[in-house]
Amino acid sequence: MKFNSKLIHGGISEDEATGAVSIPVYRASTYHKPFLSSNLKWEYSRSGNPTRAALESLMADLENGADAFAFSSGSAAIHTVFSLFSAGDEIIIGKDVYGGTFRLANQVMKRFGLKFTVVDTRKLDEVSAAIKPGVKAIYLETPTNPLLEVSDLAEIAKIAQEKNVLMIVDNTFASPYNQKPLDLGADIVVHSGTKYLGGHSDLVAGIAVVKDEKIAEKLAFLQNSIGSVLSPDDSWLLMRGIKTLGARMRIHEENAQAVIAYLLQSKYVKKVLYPGLKTNPSFEIAKKQMKGFGAMISFELADEYQVADFVNKLRMISLAESLGGIESLIEVPAVMTHGFIPREIRLKNGISDGLIRLSVGIEDKEDIIADLDQAFKSLD
Ligand SMILES: *Cc1c(COP(=O)(O)O)cnc(C)c1O
């Protein structure tokens, strides 16, 4: 099956018990055992739940993995994946990973003895040099947030395999519609299902997909032991969102193209960051490893002191954290998602005070552009 058919028919697409084409929400916490000796598939819903299992098998199918696991948030998925490691183990971590991932690494996992070394994963020689004895994994995102920088997954996978370390990729920004890290050599993919997978800004969820049965066994053990599982209701909602991922992404990207063309000719905009622009340093690698370039755009205002005036004037586009929803969402990383990073470090990393991140929604593109246009014109 091709990808868009898999979105709808992949995994367990019908309820085994009734044939219902929409998997029912099984809210039961426990399951009746006919005999003491009965060895049942379902015993207790933290260990396994039919609705969650349908979502997990769908995600394994979409990322071409051996197995998948659903969690109560992207952060819970990442926490459980980090729990594969033990005190003293070192993990190489990309320099622009999600802020919550940094917080989890530095303020939580470090206290349990894990060590983290930050590397710019676009630089392969630096990745290679950082993998010293004691390093057990490399963890990265591509494209990154909010600068949309791209790292070469196939080349990093070669290094990881050579040095015998696990490669973990947060695929939230690209979604499996545009990028399949396991096919390029990664071992584990994580997602915030809250973003493009769910797609409607109406749930918080996380996913981990693994390539290999052995890691799957370990992660199944950890999922059950730590217990940060996704509820049956949210599993159902996430599955429902995933079915339209392809349809949504096509419109997201068509709209993003129109918005970029508009921003590029605007006198109010100094710089547009998008891996799909031929002038962007990430363009060639993005073209090689992604099916499309997505609908996340960052741009800098010509006058960075006008950022607040600009975003406050928007009418349809929502000023909000998060991304990947059907509605266009805009945010100012320096004040919002990346506000906790000290200013000097933030500026050094390329996140200026005037940077704006736009998650282009699936409204009519003319309306998105008209909203940007009226907000820009109000600055005169
Ligand atoms: C939002 C996000 C996360 C965290 O996911 P939650 O569902 O909010 O816990 C992790 N990685 C990326 C890239 C994200 O955008």
pLDDT exceeds 90 at position 349: no
Model pTM? 0.97
Q: What b-and-e string marks burial along 291-322, b requiring 16 or more CB atoms within 10 Å of the CB?
A: bbbbbbbbbbbeeeebbeebbebbeebbeeee
Percent of the chain scoring above 90 in pLDDT: 94
Do 320 and 331 meet the contact criterion of CB atoms below 8 Å apart? yes
Q: Of the residues 61, 96, 170, 187, which is catalytic? A: 170
Cis amide prior to 275 (ω within 30 degrees): no
Q: Kindly give the number of the ligand 1 atom that is closest to the alpha carbon of 193.
A: 7
Do the beta carbons of residue 259 and residue 369 sit within 8 Å? Answer: yes
pLDDT 10s digits, 56-85: 999 999 999 999 999 999 999 999 999 999
> Is the predicted pLDDT of residue 276 greater than 90, yes or no?
yes
Output the ligand 1 site: residues, CB below 6 A. Answer: 73-75, 98, 100-101, 141, 145, 170, 172-173, 192, 194-195, 204, 206
pLDDT in tens, 355-364: 999 999 999 9
**pLDDT, tens digit, 9 for 90 and up, residues 220-270:** 999 999 999 999 999 999 999 999 999 999 999 999 999 999 999 999 999
How large is the average pLDDT for residues 133-139?
97
Contact 262, 218 (CB under 8 A): no
Residue 343 bears catalytic tag: no
Contact 166, 90 (CB under 8 A): no
* Cα 135 from Cα 92, distance rounded (Å): 7
Instruction: Note the pLDDT of residue 78.
Output: 98
From 194, 200, 296, give the residue whose CB has the most ligand 1 atoms within 8 Å, as the site to mutate.
Answer: 194
Measure 207 CA to ligand 1 centroid, in angstroms. Answer: 10
Nearest atom of ligand 1 to the alpha carbon of 323: 15
- Given 15, 31, 46, 287, the catalytic residue: 46
Distance, CA of 235 to chain centre:
17
**What b-and-e string marks burial along 128-143, b requiring 16 or more CB atoms within 10 Å of the CB?**
bebbeeebbbbbbbbb
